[in-house]
A and B are shown apart, each in its own frame.
Chain A
Amino acid sequence: MSLIHCLRALRGIVTRELSRFIHQRERFVSALVRPLVWLFVFAAGMRSTLGLSPTPPYETYILYEDYITPGLIGMIQLFNGMQSSLSMVYDREMGNMRTLLVSPLPRWFLLAAKLVAGTAVSVLQAYAFLLIAWFYGVHAPPEGYLALLPALLLAGLMLGALGLLLSSFIEQLENFAGVMNFVIFPMFFMSTALYPLWKIQESSPLLHTLARYNPFSQAVELIRFALYGQFNAYACAYTAAALVLFLGAAVIGYNPSKGMMQKKGGKQ
């Protein structure tokens, strides 16, 4: 395995994912509509009922729309990560995955490249959302938009790795509905995407604990601080650790001798 071979393979996988994304305009539109509905409808409705005192990274009172925006970026990346895993299951059922896995490269590299490709798509989606949000009146400091990029990459990789891990367990496309109910929704609602931790603590200490240790919360906080040009070291370390854990488990899941692929042997 030479470096140039790896780079070419990475180029191929990322280009394919991006061109598929560009060709599927409905996917792009629906990826944007979801967070925009939350921003335009939910956030507008909740604005008057949810008082937010200034907590870092915010230095002053903010509108709920400002608070929820990083959470909605996280939502875009969470859905994208799950969508990538859905496409992996689809590819495996349809056979496309086999052409990837039969390539003369280590499996961990192929999975990591697939992850990078999915993350690239989610970064595009996040910036498109921020552009629309800017016209709606959600403004972050200019340097924040630049500082956001590495945070989006790390958060996207972590959530994509989670999707990858789930895809190694999901045997059929039909089972994916369960992922929506048991992974996406609990992760999203038990997080700091919609309400700050201290607000959750007021109503339920258990929920507060769950939200605090939810990796999605840390990804959202990483994004939130980055958007305001600040670095949240704890959230960054937590997200990176979750990435290593999820990716490691996904590589084992796709290992032909150790993981789920072997257990699935009989189901062709």
Chain B
Amino acid sequence: MNTSTALFIDNVSLSYGEKPALDHVSFSVFPGECAILLGPNGAGKTSLFSLITRLYDTREGAIEIAGFNLKRQSTQALGQLGVVFQQSTLDLELSVESNLLYHADLHGLSRKRARARIQEELERQHMYERRREKVRQLNGGHRRRVEIARALLPGPRLLLLDEPTVGLDMPSRKAIVDYVHSLSAEQNIAVLWATHLVDEIFDTDRLILLHKGKIRLQGNLRQALERTGTPDINAAFQHLTQEEK
């Protein structure tokens, strides 16, 4: 059991029939770190997230969240995890607050604690005044903020985000990118952010580049540029994902 890592992925493989989706993937994410899981569409990001959220069982390799083995200690492991899925999973007909209370109930928070946490998380994103509005009335960016607040309600040690900015306008994207980075820096939360948008990467982030189910690169931005001999991350991304074509 590795308690110092928020997420520990050890030699994980997954295949759909004959087609391999993940091929001996290993990496760790530490508290206070923002790790960007970068890869083009079909790289295996969503498959990896499906394993970390235990939608599918890990058959080859092992996954630990905050030291808890996902297969053997699944409830403890999932208790340390906050997730923002690629598709919005809010109930559009219910208010922001009802959606959050539902989530707080699923995580066993008392009503008093849940209301305090909802206020705290929504205020941080300037959404508290809108808590009684139906989710249907919110725009895409605000819905995403609510989903991030929801993922943070139980106080997870690991926050997973699966391409959370897809379909959002630039100001909404920037607000979310900045906010999530501040979470890892100020609250010591480990963040694993899956994206294919290279402009969401900060210099301090750790990059994990996944392509065709394999990890092609791990390191920070500077190391990525040095290794590929490219001038910017765009070129590095192109270099690493096109080398096999």
A interface residues, Cβ below 8 angstroms from B: 1-2, 4-5, 8-9, 11-13, 15-16, 19-20, 23-24, 94-96, 98-106, 256-257, 261-262, 265-266, 268
Contacts and interface: CB of A to CB of B under 8 A. Distances in A.
A104 B75 contact: yes
Contacts of B109: 8
A100 B106 contact: yes
B165 to A, nearest CB: 16
Contacts of A5: 107-108
Interface of B: 14, 16-17, 19, 21, 46-47, 50, 53-57, 59, 71, 74-79, 81, 83, 85-89, 91, 93-94, 98, 101-110
Contacts of B50: 265, 268
A6 B89 CA distance: 22
B101 A106 contact: no
A16 to B, nearest CB: 5
Contacts, number: 102
B76 A104 contact: yes
Main secondary structure of the interface of A (DSSP, over half): helix
Contact of A8 (B53, B83, B86, B110): B110
Contacts of B16: 265-266
B167 to A, nearest CB: 14
Given A9-B108, A104-B78, A104-B107, A96 B91 contact: yes
Contacts of B21: 266
A4 B94 CA distance: 25
Nearest to A2: B108
B75 A12 contact: no
Contacts of B17: 266
A253 to B, nearest CB: 14
B57 A11 contact: no
A96 B91 CA distance: 8
12 contacts: A12-B106, A20-B91, A24-B93, A94-B87, A95-B88, A98-B53, A99-B85, A99-B89, A100-B106, A104-B76, A105-B106, A268-B47
Contacts of A268: 46-47, 50
